């Protein structure tokens, strides 16, 4: 197991910002389309974090044109170029899956003061 941890330690990013559940984040993702590459922005609320070490992932949810959209990002992926914390959220749960059933103002998360 120690050999696996040593190999995984090389893949872990050092400059990951501190963010938690309920925070609004903007993620810059590298998208490959054939030969071309571009950076795509995805902004939304973090509703879950799972795993640890190199396998840690987080789920971001946003509503676009009335349709809820969720994406799961590996935290230490080389395709995730940047994570910006837009605002901090004040929540009392580890997972915010209940936001899937909420619409409009009911789906808002209070801001941490």
Q: Is 23 helix (H, G, I), strand (E, B) or coil?
A: coil
Tens-place pLDDT, residues 63-80: 999 899 999 999 999 899
Report whether CATH 3.40.50.300 matches the domain 2-104: no
Helix (H) / strand (E) containing 39: strand 36-50
Tally of CB atoms within 10 A around 1: 5
Give the C-alpha separation, 48 to 53, whole Å. Answer: 16
Range scoring the smallest mean pLDDT among 3-7, 23-27, 35-39, 102-106: 3-7
What integer pLDDT is reported at residue 1 of this predicted model?
63
Mean of the per-residue pLDDT values of the chain: 91
* 29 C-beta neighbours (distance < 10 Å), count: 16
């Amino acid at each position: 197991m120690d050999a696996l941890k040593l190999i995984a330690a090389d893949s872990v990013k050092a400059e990951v910002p501190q963010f938690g559940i309920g925070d609004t984040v903007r993620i810059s993702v590298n998208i490959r389309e054939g030969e071309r590459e571009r950076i795509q922005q995805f902004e939304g609320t973090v509703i879950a974090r799972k795993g640890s070490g190199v396998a840690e992932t987080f789920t971001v949810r946003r509503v676009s044109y009335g349709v809820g959209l969720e994406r799961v990002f590996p935290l230490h992926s080389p395709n995730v170029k940047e994570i910006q914390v837009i605002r901090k959220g004040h929540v009392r749960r580890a997972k915010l899956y209940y936001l899937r059933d909420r619409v409009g103002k009911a789906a808002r998360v209070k801001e941490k003061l």
